[in-house]
Amino acid sequence: MTLHSLTVRGIPAPVLKVLRAAARANRRSLNAEVLVRLEAGAAGGSGRGLAAPTVVREAEPPPSEVRKAFEEADRARLRSDLALTPEQRVHLAEDLARNVPDGRPRPRFQRVMQFDRYEDYLDWRGLGGREP
């Protein structure tokens, strides 16, 4: 007989409690108790103290439906972005840049900005012709 390994994860707490109690009562390890129950289940018997096993799985949509959903969301985002005027796009980008968390990596170099006129600097700062 060839032996194989089995890893079981996500056992519900009530089932695990019953398995541990049965293992203590039968003076076995938890692994041995699980193995006995698996063998009994494979042979057509029912496990002691546990209800008939039920398998509950989340329904997974086929990959093509998931891909279609993402493509539709991308198209909707593109339509809404294209509906904005250039000025609205710039304001949206500035708002997003302001809301970026501080945890982002900083550039390795310092930026040096040079302006021909002070008015150009004020325009760049978004102050127009007003003094800061």
- What pLDDT, in 10s, does the model give residues 93-111? 888 878 776 666 666 677 7
Q: What is the pLDDT of residues 42-92, one digit of tens each?
A: 777 555 555 555 666 667 767 888 888 899 999 999 999 889 988 888 888
Residue 6 pLDDT exceeds 90: no
* Domain residue spans of the chain: 13-42, 63-100
Annotate 43-96 with DSSP letters as a single string: TT---TTSPPP----PPPPPHHHHHHHHHHHHHHHHHHHHTS-HHHHHHHHHHH
From CA 29, how far away is CA 64, in angstroms rounded?
A: 45
pLDDT value at residue 66: 83
pLDDT at 52: 55
Q: Give dist(CA 24, CA 21) in Å, integer.
A: 5
pLDDT of the residue at 105: 67
Q: Which of the two residues, 84 and 129, has the higher pLDDT score?
A: 84
